[in-house]
A and B are shown apart, each in its own frame.
Chain A
């Protein structure tokens, strides 16, 4: 319930990696994180996240990219994206809740 990350690696080949204080290792693709943005406007209408470039770049901005992160208080982290979006404040508890690994998914479904 009360999870705290020890280390957050923003850019690994698989996306963002978190080592939790209970030993759990979590990997989130950047697109997955952006899809799960908890900010009010994204909750209202979830973003369509592109992971590949369009054939005609003029129709889209290309794949979503994480550009940076800022810690928020003691409880959360805020991500900035290449499309300018930065209003999502991801609490550590929320990040743990949306951990995409099989084990966590099963536990959360129960």
Chain B
């Protein structure tokens, strides 16, 4: 490089300063302060770097890439900009929890107040969608009374057990555990609290989860022993509340929200299931349970609305036959609505991790 063009030599500070103008709209901070810029290389006028986001399916991924490209390309002396996009899911697990589930970065509970609103269907499709984005995902069926994950995921063969370690079956790339694997079909779980507590601990601690970005936990309905045990055993990253749009369901959902609030588990947002029904014969839209109730409720309560799913026979058929709708290559309006919810959930996890207050320091 000649002495005369030294004044326009590109250096790291210059590039980083330019990138400070690019904001992550979710975390409301610039991407340099957030530590997203990795492997910055400058070779004369050629600049290359990697942007590492905190979610695998950032809705603003393309926007951030384009803005960064523009910001750096506009600098004096820059000839070319090469940006690779990646992700590294953030985590706020406490040292105490990480002794139980050392490789798990985030735990997402899927909950509802009322039963029958589609928690398990949402949980299964959420898990498969997150996996399809490239994340490592586990799915824990904590609904011991009505374990439905093995059927929904089409994996009913029991897991292998070595001593007290359980090797979770894998379906659609998602590791799973369920009480359904340990009970004969006609048997039921009739347990009191202490047994349920033990089960929650074993499902977390004795299953070989390995390294997971997200562990999705399908809860039974209500605000009982299992919910409480879960919140006591691990610090939840947050809860996704599923509700149907009618007032009755929303009323009961607000009880579940109140519980998570008391236990200081962040509410990641609300999903509206069975939002509407399109008649296959005449194409008319019927709003069987009313429409938009969950969106309105989430706005009133101040929680994010994660998305809506229609009432649709395809979902029922695919669920009963163990074929989630969000696997790779699925491109239907329904799979898209599930994927949008997964996308929004991942974004909320990243926000929750970013905003989580520090746990207290306990000194002996």
Contacts and interface: CB of A to CB of B under 8 A. Distances in A.
Given A73-B231, A73-B235, A73-B264, A4 B364 contact: no
A54 B107 CA distance: 49
Contacts of B235: 71, 73-74
A89 interface: yes
A72 B230 CA distance: 10
Nearest to B362: A8
B361 A73 contact: no
B364 A73 contact: no
B263 interface: yes
A42 interface: no
A64 interface: no
A77 interface: yes
B175 to A, nearest CB: 23
Contacts of A69: 362
Contacts of B329: none
Given A4-B357, A21-B357, A89-B232, A74 B265 contact: yes
Given A10-B364, A11-B364, A71 B359 contact: yes
Contact of A8 (B232, B233, B358, B360): B360
Interface in B333-364: 356-364
B124 to A, nearest CB: 25
B43 to A, nearest CB: 46
A6 interface: yes
B362 to A, nearest CB: 5
Interface string B280-301: 0000000000000000000000
B262 interface: yes
Contacts of A5: 360
Nearest to A11: B364
Nearest to A72: B232
B362 A74 contact: no
Contact of B264 (A9, A11, A70, A75): A75
A70 B263 CA distance: 16
B359 A74 contact: yes
A71 B96 contact: yes
Interface residues of A, number: 24
Interface residues of B, number: 21
Interface in A57-106: 68-77, 89, 91-93
B94 interface: yes
Contacts of B262: 75, 91, 93
Nearest to A6: B360
Q: Is the interface of B mostly helix, strand, loop or mixed?
A: loop
Contact of A73 (B232, B358, B360, B363): B232
B234 interface: yes
Contacts of B231: 73, 75
Nearest to B261: A2
Interface string B189-205: 00000000000000000
Contacts of A73: 231-236, 263-265
Given A73-B231, A74-B265, A76-B232, A7 B96 contact: no
B363 A10 contact: yes
* Of listed A73, A75, A91, A93, residue having the most chain B CB within 10 A: A73
B363 A8 contact: yes
A9 B361 CA distance: 8
Contacts of A21: 357
Interface string A1-34: 0001111111100000010010000000000000
Given A70-B96, A71-B94, A72-B232, A6 B361 contact: yes
A73 B239 CA distance: 13
Nearest to A17: B363
B232 to A, nearest CB: 5
Interface in B209-244: 231-236
Interface of B: 94, 96, 231-236, 262-265, 356-364
Interface of A: 4-11, 18, 21, 68-77, 89, 91-93
9 contacts: A5-B360, A8-B363, A71-B96, A71-B360, A74-B263, A74-B264, A74-B265, A74-B359, A75-B264
Given A4-B264, A71-B360, A72-B232, 10 more contacts: A6-B361, A8-B363, A68-B364, A71-B96, A73-B232, A73-B264, A74-B263, A75-B262, A76-B232, A92-B264
